[in-house]
């Protein structure tokens, strides 16, 4: 059983997954930020691999990616940083990124190094379902990695069921079809999450995009197993003189 599955077995609700960008704010911030998130009480970490053209990311996360790339962040550097990180970080960790840099690195080598780290799962929003089924899914499974698909309010019921059947770990419910960081109409989000809840899917559901504080976190958790916060956390780190202190304050405000 993976760390992700263990987490959902032990805790059914109010799961807090926080996104951070590898190599941000400083090149060597990756593991210290993850450690600070763990120490502050998050349940799972989504570690973003910076890319110059991130389709699903809003301006704040894009800017953090740009900064991380300028700092010298690469996938090779990331795996170097993750060597031995399990001595300090025991939470489930998911790598989130885009196919282009992963393919340049070599898809199988990437999965092998991710499993060696070890991280627990992958989110690759631009990996199409067909390619996953015919080519890449078998490689991901061979290395024991969970793979998480994204669904939106516009995704048909048939397709939601299909992506749920292919996903392992959890299903990522995107609160709307826009990019991260935009304010959302939480009533529309609630309707979408209720629809997913009524479908009695195989996987737990975490909701992301637009979750930024305690009220939006609580609303998201009303009809889902938990939520993912990214943009608001990156903003909290932007000008923080002390990453650990800024992280603790941010997470405490959400969980208090």
Tell me: pLDDT of 187 over 80. no
What domains lie within the chain, and their CATH numbers? Answer: 13-149+213-255 (3.20.20.70)
- Given a cut of 70, whether residue 210 has pLDDT beyond it is yes
Better-predicted residue by pLDDT, 220 or 176: 220
Cα–Cα dist 112/75, whole Å = 13
pLDDT at 216 over 50: yes
Tell me how far apart the alpha carbons of residues 24 and 160 are, in angstroms, rounded to a whole number: 33
CA 223, 163, 20 angle in degrees (round to 5)?
65
User: What pLDDT, on a 0 to 100 scale, did the predictor assign at position 256?
Assistant: 87
| Catalytic annotation, residues | 46, 57
Q: What is the mean pLDDT of the chain?
A: 93
Closest Cα to residue 62, out of 73, 72, 51, 70?
51
Percent of the chain at pLDDT > 90 equals 88
pLDDT of residue 76: 98
* pLDDT score of 180 more than 80: no
> Can you give the pLDDT at residue 181?
46
Q: How far apart are the C-alpha atoms of 47 and 107, rounded to whole Å?
A: 18
């Amino acid at each position: 059983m993976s760390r992700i599955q263990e987490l959902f077995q032990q805790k059914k609700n109010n799961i807090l997954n926080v996104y951070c960008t590898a190599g941000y704010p400083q090149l060597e911030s990756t593991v210290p930020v993850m450690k600070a998130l763990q120490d502050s009480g998050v349940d799972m970490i989504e570690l973003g691999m910076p890319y110059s053209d991130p389709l699903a990311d809003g301006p704040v996360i894009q800017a953090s990616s740009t900064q991380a790339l300028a700092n010298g962040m690469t996938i090779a550097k990331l795996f170097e940083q993750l060597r031995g990180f399990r001595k300090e970080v025991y939470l489930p960790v998911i790598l989130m990124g885009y196919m282009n840099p992963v393919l340049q690195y070599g898809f199988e080598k990437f999965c092998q190094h991710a499993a060696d780290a070890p991280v627990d799962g992958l989110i690759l929003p631009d990996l199409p379902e067909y390619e996953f089924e015919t080519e890449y899914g078998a490689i991901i499974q061979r290395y024991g990695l969970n793979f998480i698909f994204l669904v939106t309010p516009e995704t048909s019921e048939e397709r939601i069921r299909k992506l749920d059947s292919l996903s392992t770990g959890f299903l990522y419910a995107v609160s709307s079809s826009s990019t991260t960081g935009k304010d959302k109409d939480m009533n529309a989000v609630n309707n979408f999450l209720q629809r997913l809840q009524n479908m009695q899917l195989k996987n737990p559901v975490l909701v992301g995009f637009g979750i930024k504080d305690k009220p939006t976190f609580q609303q998201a958790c009303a009809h889902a197993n938990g939520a993912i916060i990214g943009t608001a956390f990156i903003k909290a780190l932007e000008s923080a003189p002390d990453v650990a202190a800024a992280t603790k304050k941010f997470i405490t405000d959400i969980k208090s």
